[in-house]
Amino acid sequence: MLRSRRLLPSLFLASSLTLFALPAVASPPCSPMDGTGYFPEHHRTRLAAHHKKLHTALNLDSKQETAWNNLVDAERPMARSAPDRAVDWDALSTPERVERMQARMQTQQATLAEYLVVLKTFYAGLTPTQQRTFDDFHHAPRRSLHGKR
């Protein structure tokens, strides 16, 4: 009898906790992610803040502004490079998936090559002090979207 007195409250507590936990388990995740781990708005916000901070630190003259605008414009295609969500990856065979990944990588590589040309042009127009400032802004390992290195 004494054992059942101790067992009943424990069972009641366990069943109550289970009952309250069910809605949390059943509900979809509450996050800005779209299921792919890609945060386009967050990325755009951080990139804009980075550009603003860098622009202020560089103290560009009027001649350098055109090259700066070209640099920022050249970064936009890279920022828009989101995964192709229209493709049903489960329906593709492994070779088809790898072909799609390879095509995406080739596109990204071409975009990066175009960006490098613009970057070199911009960098060449900076003074040595501005170049050091630019390098200081970009030398550290980049943080992930969650702020971890």
Q: Give per-10-residue mean pLDDT for the chain (149 aa).
A: 64 63 54 55 83 94 94 79 68 90 90 93 95 88 55
Tell me what pLDDT residue 55 has.
93
Give domain status of residue 24, yes or no: no
* 3-class secondary structure, 34: coil
Give domain status of residue 62, yes or no: yes
Tell me what pLDDT residue 90 has.
83
Cα angle: 43, vertex 46, 50; to 5 degrees:
135
| Amino acid at site 3 | R
pTM over 0.75? The answer is: no
- Distances, alpha carbon 4 to alpha carbons 12, 15, 16, 84, in Å: 12, 16, 18, 59
Domain that holds residue 50: 39-149
Give domain status of residue 17, yes or no: no
Tell me what pLDDT residue 129 has.
95
Q: How many domains does the chain have?
A: 1
Give domain status of residue 85, yes or no: yes
Tokens of 119: 């970057």
Give domain status of residue 120, yes or no: yes
- Nearest Cα to Cα of residue 137 among 79, 69, 53, 64: 53
CB atoms near residue 60 (< 10 Å): 19
Give domain status of residue 1, yes or no: no
Distant-in-sequence, close-in-space partners of 126: CB < 8 Å, separation ≥ 6? 58, 64, 134
